[in-house]
A and B are shown apart, each in its own frame.
Chain A
Amino acid sequence: MSSSPGHAVPGEHYFVPQPSLYPVILSAGMFLLAFGFIQVINNFGPGKWVMLGGTAVILYVLFGWFGRVISESQSGAYRDWEDRSFRYGMIWFIATEVMFFAAFFGALFYVRVISVPTLGDMMATHGTSLWPEFAGTWPTSGPKGPAFTPMGAWGIPALNTALLLSSGATVTWAHWSLLRNRRRQLALGLLATVVLGSVFLGFQAYEYHHAYNELGLTMGAGAYGATFFMLTGFHGFHVTLGTIMLIVILLRCLSGHFSAERHFAFEAVAWYWHFVDVVWLVLFVFVYWV
């Protein structure tokens, strides 16, 4: 928390955007998406189509809204003051994402440290047990879960770790190039990052396929399956979003956006990418490895 004044130049004007319809439309789109989703999981109504409609509305808004922001940015409406707002905003947004993952990691630690051992030790603690055959060792699908083979750490997951780590390096390289105004390197660095991210996703998809078809490892495979797929799944989803964002940034770089001094969007996406990277490291350690 800085104790310096929020704003340095007395008399400067802050950019307050014109009234906009996008937020309302976005909310409506999200309503449709949620409502359609409820219909789909409960098998009633035209759920799929409602979801599709919602998605279309959301995409429309994303294009329009971000388009507007980009053109405002290009017209020079944002200066240091506004830029700082965006930075703070992005940082705290990433903080919420961290906490979202924390919930799932919390669940993982809880089942590994508390619930599975408790189920296994029942005979010792209470002298009687509801699950006499259950040993309480990890990995497990629980006393009544299906048999499965857990995912090893040193095949694809290790490779994926290497991929994501190098993509962190390439995006930093791109940033470094941007700061020195080397546009070709910048584009190259971004492109490499996108490629690495996509390869990661490809491997991840392959791993899921493998899990479902050969290992018997599914969402339904008890505590292990649930935490495995939710953690890796949400991570994969974030990598997907990050990759899309990187592609947008790449395209913007190619059409000459950003300068060495002003490139908040680039940095925001880079931060996001690093965050996804760090989550993967924790995930690799606790989901795959130990």
Chain B
Amino acid sequence: MSIATTHPGGHAAEPYQGGLRRWLTTTNHKDIGTMYMMFSLIMFFVGGLMILAVRAELFQPGLQLMKPEFFNQLIGIHALVMIFAALMPAATGFANWMIPLMIGAPDMALPRLNNWGFWLLPPAAILLTLPFTLALFGIGDGALATGWTFYAPLSVQGGMGVDFAILAVHILGISSIMGSINIIVTIFNMRAPGMTMMKLPLFAWGWLITAFLLIATLPVLAGAVTMLLTDRHFGTHFFDAAGGGDPILFQHLFWFFGHPEVYILLLPVWGLMPHVLATFSRKPTYGYKAQVYSFIAIGLLSVVVWAHHFFTAGMPVPALIYFMFSTMAISLPLAVLFFCWIATMWKGAMSFETPMLFAIGFIVLFGIAGLTGLILADVAADAQYHHSYFVVAHFHYALFAGGIMGVMTGVYYWLPKWTGHMYCEKLGKLHFWLTVFSFNLTFIPQFFLGLAGMPRRIPDYALQFAEFNAISTVGAFILGLSQLIFAWNIWITVRGGKKAEGRVWESAEGLEWELSSPPPHHSWETQPVIK
């Protein structure tokens, strides 16, 4: 068999398609990665705008801007958009762009499927936001108003918005599963000759565990919302005591997915951190193996701790104790990760470009998230924290400071590689400091609100909570505005700017830096050989 016939046309002869058609039909991992990143950025702003409306409502006690029904829709859709349409696609975008470059693969293993995985996202986003947008114009009864957790039986009695959200989750799930399968296959089958699993870049390792978690848990979420759908429309009684079912069954199923989901969101970022830290410390990554084993341990532990999200729902004492200790056990592998990150910086020669700043900000702020998570796991104290703003603060430290700031670390780190231009360092630093300042201004008061007894998901609150809420709202608006700097910085970098070298950062190591910036449309067509 000659190469010419087995390899139709060869890539050089591939007709270049410009314009819309290129993006609709592309099978190129870089194009697809770019689409994921753009989609994520847009949805981040959409989700942020929604929550700004919420923060505005919460600026003062009393109902000013919206009815409670609408408020409930805003928080749920905010969360679903941020998690499923902003954070997860950003991680998949990284994977698409970088994993083939890092492991010396010509492309993702299943390119057409890859394209499909992306193009499922816009329809899902439409399903998610359509009822909500229509309600703005007075059509229909709006989106799901149960929070992002869909708890039955509130979601059984809810309006049509619940059905939209269920179908959206199904499609998002298919998309994520296609992405995961693709990434697993790529990592298993497309590594350059000589790249053993124990030479795999940590970013790819992080994603590998993520992909397994997605495969293990997303179908369970799909099953759960399917049961919800049949309870709503086809007369089943999964979540209804009158038929022998149980509303708590839904919570078990949801959190069997929901807890691993938080690691799904962060594992790619944890995989990225050592690369950034090593580059800007000019030192090899510390404890490669320890980190790999920690990823695996986190993956395994994450699927056996789910019930810590509903301690107050009532459980037998042994179950409470088991879920408490297993949850706390996750802090062990995470302590190893923290240790390795700091040891990577130790005795290096650090410089603090924007990606490094974001990485350090990530470590400190995510540390706060993790440590507060640790005490949330305590059943007795959780009786006080649960469903209070303390939890809201905890998970924004994890999701925004961990997730979003982690993604921003990656964007600043790799943007020059993607575009071939350097971003504006001044703007980057400004963005970082404003973000860190206003993020804390927004969420530190929420810890105190929670301790003082303010429940989550309320559109109006007692007078004793007024000051902290006002501060938090001011913080949120500054935080929102600061993100405009980010978008602007990306825009000007895409449009032009100082040319970036192949090895953008002086001591960056790894195959991706061996290529030009931006890399050729088809890179590693001939695989490099790793010794």
User: A18-B14, A103-B220, A230-B230 in contact; A224/B123 too (CB < 8 A)?
Assistant: no
Is the C-beta of A213 less than 8 angstroms from some C-beta in chain B? no
Q: How far is the CA of A140 from the CA of B197 in the complex (A)?
A: 51
- The answer to the question of A30 belonging to the interface, with a C-beta cut-off of 8 Å to chain B, is yes
Do A7 and B241 contact each other (CB < 8 Å), given the known contacts A20-B112, A89-B109? no
Cβ A79 vs Cβ B6 within 8 A: yes
- The reply to whether the CB of A132 lies closer than 8 angstroms to some CB of chain B is no
User: With A92-B215, A100-B222 known to touch, is A23 a contact of B160 (CB < 8 Å)?
Assistant: no
Q: How far is the CB of B104 from chain A (nearest CB, A)?
A: 9
Q: How far is the CA of A111 from the CA of B232 in the complex (A)?
A: 18
Contacting pair A27 B120 (CB below 8 A): yes
Chain B 286-339 interface residues, beta-carbon cutoff 8 Å to A? none
| B220 and A102 within 8 A (CB) | yes
Q: What separation, in Å, do the CA atoms of A27 and B246 have in the docked complex?
A: 35
Interface flags for A66-101 (1: CB within 8 Å of B; 0: not) read 000000000111010100111011001101111111
Tell me the nearest residue of chain B to A106, going by C-beta: B253
Q: Which of B21-29, B365-373, B392-400 contacts A (4 or more CB under 8 A)?
A: B21-29
Whether a CB of chain A sits under 8 angstroms from the CB of B99 is no
A10 within 8 A of B: yes
B169-187 interface code vs A (CB 8 A; 1 in, 0 out): 0110010010011101101
A211 to B256, CA, bound (A): 33
Taken together as a complex, chains A and B put the C-alpha atoms of A107 and B192 apart, in Å, by 44
Q: Which residues of B contact A65 (CB under 8 A)?
A: 112
Give the segment of B56-64, B265-273, B346-354, B522-530 that binds chain A: B522-530
CB of A76 within 8 A of CB of B244, answer: no
User: For the side of the interface on A, what is the size category?
Assistant: 35 or more
User: In whole Å, how far is A227's beta carbon from the nearest beta carbon of chain B?
Assistant: 8
The smallest beta-carbon distance between A172 and chain B, in angstroms, is 26
Nearest residue, chain B, Cβ from A32? B123
B252 within 8 A of A: yes
**6 A-B pairs in the complex with CB atoms less than 8 angstroms apart:** A1-B197, A7-B190, A26-B119, A42-B163, A84-B189, A226-B236
B83 touches A (CB below 8 Å) = no
B residues within 8 A CB of A85? 109-110, 185, 189-190
Chain B residues whose C-beta falls within 8 Å of the C-beta of A100 in the assembled complex: 219-220, 222-223
B11-53 contact mask (Cβ, 8 Å, vs A): 1 or 0: 1001001000110111110000000000000000000000000
Residues of A within 8 A of B (CB): 1-8, 10-11, 13-24, 26-28, 30-31, 34-35, 37-38, 41-42, 65, 75-77, 79, 81, 84-86, 88-89, 92-93, 95-104, 106-107, 110-111, 114-116, 118-119, 130-131, 140-145, 218-227, 229-230
How far is B245's CA from A230's CA once the two chains are assembled, in angstroms? Answer: 14
* Distance A55 CA – B229 CA, assembled complex (angstroms): 20
How would residues 210 to 229 of chain B score, 1 for a CB under 8 Å from any chain A CB and 0 otherwise? 00000111111011101101
Decide: A5 and B241 in contact? CB cutoff 8 A: no
Task: Specify which chain A residues have a CB less than 8 angstroms from the CB of B253 in the assembled complex.
Answer: 103, 106-107
Q: Which residues of B contact A19 (CB under 8 A)?
A: 14, 17, 21-22, 25-27
Contact of A18 among B8, B217, B248 (CB under 8 A): B8
| CB 8 Å contact bits of B411-429 with A (1 = contact, 0 = none) | 0000000000000000000
State the total of A-B contacts with C-beta under 8 angstroms: 281
Task: Report yes or no: A77 in contact with B230, Cβ–Cβ below 8 A.
Answer: no
In the complex, how many angstroms separate the beta carbon of A40 from the nearest chain B beta carbon?
9
Which of A17, A92, A96, A97: most chain B Cβ within 10 A? Answer: A96
Q: Are B190 and A219 in contact (CB under 8 A)?
A: no
Residues of chain A lying within 8 A (CB to CB) of residue B9 = 18
Q: A28-B123, A79-B1, A222-B244 are in contact. List 8 more A-B contacts (CB 8 A).
A: A5-B193, A13-B526, A21-B24, A27-B122, A34-B168, A75-B5, A86-B110, A219-B234
Q: How far is the CB of A45 from chain B (nearest CB, A)?
A: 11
- Are B163's CB and A104's CB within 8 A? no
Q: Quick one: which of A18, A34, A144, A145 contacts B127, CB cutoff 8 A?
A: A34
> Which of B11, B115, B192 meets A7, CB within 8 Å?
B192
In the complex, what distance in Å separates the CA atom of A229 from the CA atom of B190?
A: 42
Does B520 reach chain A (CB closer than 8 Å)? no
Contact partners of A225 in chain B: CB under 8 A: 236-237, 243
* Candidates B103, B184, B244; contact of A88 at CB < 8 Å: B184
Q: How far is the CA of A107 from the CA of B6 in the complex (A)?
A: 49
Using A13-B525, A111-B245 as known contacts, say yes or no to A103 and B190 having CB atoms under 8 A apart: no
Within 8 A of A (CB), among B443-484: none
Q: For A104, what are the chain B residues with a Cβ–Cβ distance below 8 Å?
A: 223, 227
- Distance between A119 CB and nearest chain B CB, rounded to angstroms: 6
Assess the B249–A115 pair: CB atoms within 8 A: yes
| A21: B residues at CB distance < 8 A | 24-25
Cβ of A218: which chain B residues have Cβ within 8 Å of it?
235
A229–B227 CA distance with the chains assembled, in angstroms: 11
B381 within 8 A of A: no
Quick check: B190 and A14 within 8 Å, CB to CB?
Answer: yes
